[in-house]
Amino acid sequence: RRRIGVMTSGGDSPGMNGAVRAVVRMSIHMGCEAYAIYEGYEGLVQGGDLIKEMKWEDVRGWLSRGGTLIGTARCMPFKERWGRLKAAKNMILRGIDALIICGGDGSLTGADLFRSEWPGLIKELVDTKELTQEQIEPYKHLNIVGLVGSIDNDMSGTDATIGCYSSLERICSAVDDVFDTAASHQRGFVIEVMGRHCGWLALMASIATGADFVFIPEKPPRVGWEDQMCDIIKKHRSRGKRRSIVIIAEGAHDENLKKITANHVKDLLSNKLNLDTRVTVLGHTQRGGQACFYDRWLSTLQGVEAVNAVLEATPETPTPVITIRENKIERSNLMEAVALTKSVTAAIEARDFDKAMQLRDVEFKE
């Protein structure tokens, strides 16, 4: 019986458990055995107890749970060939030649590399007498399928990553809470949200909460933004608004890539507008908590599709990543999606912000 491994890797996100549950149950449904790889790539490299067969009832109640119940880690050895060699050996010893990985672009890049090296790795294991020819014979090809788990919604080629909508929910409700106190005291608040190089969470949260101003990495404010921001907030105040909210992405910077910090924005509001202003960094609360409806739905459908992709793959099929586009669950070319994602970061670093926005598929009109 075919053995399919499932793993969560990189930063955790709500919905990862739903993905694991779907993969486990769909694998069993399709007559395969399911194995959870605990602690991300660490589990593959170490093997032993970190690779565990999962039965149907082992994932009961997982759908709504936040974080990842099989653990995740950043694993340095997997970035080295010797680490991947150990991983290959552990997989063959357990009879696993298909892996479904839910993680960010780093994890998925590592997975694709592992797959491309696989024939060389198993040959080396035989040459060094770690394994015999008979042992490797049934496992000539490694099958990899990617699922994108990230709160940042930073992967190109998919409309939503598993976890981004749960995170957005939490950010919106935190901003709502801050609104109440801000309005009571007529305060200003600068709220920093996560997202690394991606401004999706900040932009969506600012629209959903009616914030006064937002900073995102893809579209830095123009020179003179300090006065522009203050003018806008002053105008809103003159119309009777009792609170001022500025949302800032953690990766925000100006046109010269100089970081814009929440404290700097706070000082501007305090000094130029005489507003009693506080900074709130939402931090890890954004990652935690239950998965929202959307992430339960998305992780379930994508987990099922990932198992289908494993069962239909041939050695020639380029490594797929499961995406969602215009509400349809699809398979895309993993490395193309990763390359497109990297090109956004490259455009930002080259200060070509129009290109960055275009690559993010956002139309911007002043």
Candidates 2, 52, 74, 141; binder of ligand ADP (CB under 6 A) is 74
Identify which of 339, 20, 334 has the alpha carbon closest to the alpha carbon of residue 146.
334
DSSP β-ladder status, 51-54 and 3-8:
unpaired
In whole angstroms, the minimum distance from the beta carbon of 75 to ligand ADP comes to 4
> CA-CA distance, 99 to 194, in Å (whole number)?
29
196 is in an annotated binding site: yes
Size of the site for ligand ADP (CB under 6 A): 16
Residue 254 known to be catalytic: no
Binding span for ligand ADP by CB under 6 A among 109-117, 128-136, 278-286, 354-362: 109-117
Q: Are 278 and 189 in contact (CB under 8 A)?
A: yes
Q: Is 41 in the site for ligand ADP (CB under 6 A)?
A: yes
| Residue ranges in 11-40 that form contacts with ligand ADP under rule CB under 6 A | 11
* Residue 8 interacting with ligand ADP (CB under 6 A): no
From residue 175, alpha-carbon distances to 78, 161, 248, 279 in Å are 39, 22, 12, 12
Q: Which of 15, 18, 104, 251 binds ligand ADP (CB under 6 A)?
A: 104
Query: Should residue 103 be labelled a site residue for ligand ADP when binding is judged by CB under 6 A?
Result: yes
Comparing CB distances to ligand ADP, the nearer of 102 and 279 is 102
Measured between alpha carbons, how far is 352 from 347 in angstroms, rounded to an integer? 5
Contact between 84 and 114 under an 8 Å Cβ cutoff? The reply is yes
Position closest to ligand ADP via CB: 106
The least CB distance from residue 187 to ligand ADP, in Å, is 35
Q: How far is the CB of 338 from ligand ADP (least distance, A)?
A: 10
CB 170 within 8 A of CB 285: yes
Residue 64 known to bind ligand: no
The residue among 18 and 103 lying less far from ligand ADP, judged by its C-beta, is 103
* Shortest spacing between CB 229 and ligand ADP, in angstroms: 32
CA distances from 29 to 4, 56, 59, 138, 149 (A): 12, 9, 14, 23, 23
Active-site residue, selected from the candidate residues 152, 154, 212, 295: 152
User: Among residues 78 and 213, whose Cβ is nearest to ligand ADP?
Assistant: 78
Rounded Cα distance between 172 and 174, Å, is: 5
Binding of residue 335 to ligand ADP (CB under 6 A): no
Q: Does 71 bind ligand ADP (CB under 6 A)?
A: no
Q: Which residues contact 171 (CB under 8 A, 6 or more apart)?
A: 193, 201, 205, 282, 286
Determine the Cα–Cα distance for residues 45 and 85; give it in Å rounded to an integer. 8
How would you classify residue 361: left for phi > 0, otherwise alpha for psi between -120 and 50, otherwise beta? left
Q: Give the shortest CB-182-to-ligand ADP separation in angstroms.
A: 33
Kind of pairing between the strands at 98-103 and 143-148: parallel
Does 342 interact with ligand ADP (rule: CB under 6 A)? no
Q: d(Cα 30, Cα 28) in Å, to the nearest integer?
A: 5
By CB under 6 A, residue 113 contacts ligand ADP: yes
CB of 82 to ligand ADP, least distance (A): 12
Helix (H, G, I), strand (E, B) or coil at 78: helix
Would you say 264 is a known binding-site residue?
no
Does position 9 interact with ligand ADP (CB under 6 A)? The reply is yes
Binding residues for ATP: 11, 74-75, 104-107
Q: Which residues bind ligand ADP (CB under 6 A)?
A: 9-11, 41, 74-75, 78-79, 103-107, 109-110, 113
Binding residues for Mg(2+): 105
Binding residues: 11, 74-75, 104-107, 150-152, 187, 194-196, 250, 278, 284-287
Please list the active-site residues: 152
